[in-house]
Copies of this chain bind each other. A is one copy, B any other.
């Protein structure tokens, strides 16, 4: 995923509580829903003791709309009530990027 226009990243770091009931289903649902939003570019997630999800967006406006999307608001509420001990959201402008991909030797 290489973008030549400026774009934005939302870094969501979180610590899950012991109340994980329904979390996986909601996370999957929100991922599918995010993909349908205008201005969505991509998402990357990893979790061990900490969870980090980074989503990528075309504009701050697209991020704002997604934050206010009605089903997503329900999920956020449920997240605060049940699933998370804490979370931290950072909205960032991607200034520069580079990537590496291994070319396997055939020798």
Partner of A45, one of B11, B50, B54, B95: B50
Q: Which A residues lie at the B interface, using CB under 8 A?
A: 1, 8-9, 11, 13, 17, 44-52, 54, 60, 80, 84-102
Identical chains bound together, number:
2
| Contact of A46 with B54 at beta-carbon distance under 8 Å, contacts A93-B93, A99-B86, A99-B87 already known | no
CB neighbours (8 Å) of A98 from chain B are 88-89
Cβ–Cβ contact A47 & B48, under 8 A: yes
Cβ–Cβ contact A102 & B46, under 8 A: no
| Contact of A90 with B9 at beta-carbon distance under 8 Å, contacts A60-B95, A85-B102, A95-B60 already known | yes
Cβ–Cβ contact B97 & A84, under 8 A: no
